[in-house]
Structure 1
Amino acid sequence: MRNLWQPIKTKILAVICLFMLSACSAPDVSLYANNEPKFELEKFFSGSLTAHGILKNRSGEVIRYFNATLEGRWENGVGTLTEEFLFDDGEIQNRTWTMTPDENGQYIATANDVTGFGEARIAGNALFMDYILQVPYKGDTLEVRVDDRMYMVKDGVVMNESVMTKFGFEVGYLSIVIQKVKN
């Protein structure tokens, strides 16, 4: 009787594993191709912007919040975005992104505290980017993978959600609102 049930158990286990793997797969940016308003990177990240956000630990507890000023400019199709973050404990962090278009109409992004580069993929109102960020931690620097998901919710306003992982485990979450400064 045991041998009769073994193939059935194996098939059930395989179906469960496939279901779990498909449930964990992240949506592709192309799902948002028809959404409005369109996320035009050069238009949005040009001029002055502000950002306001929270950082949560892996259990979802808010452990920090911050406000930031951003300034973007474009020259010959290449963008520079300078960011200054002021955290609730008084810490200041600075980041400067360089965004270079690639042959597919997307952008390669590098920054002073990013290992390697991120590829910004844009479709409709969404921008997804994955990169390795160097994070100061207890007098040292940790590298965490950041999965950035930005959504333009109306002209001049972007919501950004990020999941940070280390060794494949989720270790933190960022939620940010980025707004263009009206002149």
Structure 2
Amino acid sequence: MINSTYANEAEEFDLFSYFQGETRAWGLFEDRFGVVRRQFVVQIVGEIKAGELTLTEDFAYAGGITEQRIWRIRRTGDCDFRGLSEDIFDQAVGHRDGNTLYWRYTMKIHIGGQWWRVKFDDRMYMLPEQTLVNRARVSKLGITLGTVSLFFKKTNS
């Protein structure tokens, strides 16, 4: 069930218009015990063509590791979205409620020398001044592994 308590407290979040152009994000992953395991910065370029939002995300992790993810996102209704990326199993499914986007997907990630299939349950909150906060619960087999926190800011506004 969607908790829309906060959803109507600020302007509506328009996923396509927010991510069109350049955006920068700062984030970290905390394990289930609250220990910060990874920090990173993401440079994002969004482009809309033929009703599809393409997000090119370039990650730079503390320690010098880099990674790129390319999302292709389509609207499937007024407030609903589907997204694809090479490391996503099936599709990501999203629903917007006011200023909040709920985004769920299963992703292949590299942990401790092996590939894991984990679930992400994201909640993205639009704040004033083109700031977006994302909290994602990461789990495997129903067990919480940790939380990703991301803070986005437009760089071309």
TM-score tier, shorter chain, comes to over 0.9
* TM-score where L is the length of structure 1: 0.81
**Partner residue in 2 for 1:14:** none
* Local SS of the residue matching 2:126: strand
List structure 1 runs of 4+ shifted beyond 3 angstroms. Answer: 29-33
**Partner residue in 1 for 2:42:** 68
* TM-score where L is the length of structure 2: 0.93
1:154 deviates by 1.3
Residue 143 (structure 1) aligned to one of 117, 123, 148: 117
* Local SS of the residue matching 2:33: coil
Is the strand fraction higher in 1 or 2?
2
Residue 121 (structure 1) aligned to one of 95, 100, 125: 95
Q: How does 1:8-27 map to 2 (within 5 A)?
A: none
**Partner residue in 1 for 2:85:** 111
- 1:119 and 1:153 map into 2 onto residues whose CA distance is 22
Amino acid aligned to 1:165: S
Q: How does 1:73-88 map to 2 (within 5 A)?
A: 73-88=47-62
Higher relative contact order (CA 8 A, sep 6+): 2
- What do the CA deviations read for 1:96-147 (whole angstroms, capped 9, x no partner)? 1110111454110111111111111001110011100111123321011000
- Equivalent residues of 1:48, 1:70 under 8 A apart: yes
Q: CA RMSD in A?
A: 1.5
What fraction of aligned residue pairs are identical, expressed as a percent? Answer: 28
- What do the CA deviations read for 1:36-80 (whole angstroms, capped 9, x no partner)? 211011110100000001111111101110011000010121110
Is the helix fraction higher in 1 or 2?
1
- 1:153 and 1:104 map into 2 onto residues whose CA distance is 21
Gap runs ≥5 in structure 1: 1-26
Distance 1:155 1:106, change over 3 A: farther
* Local SS of the residue matching 1:44: helix
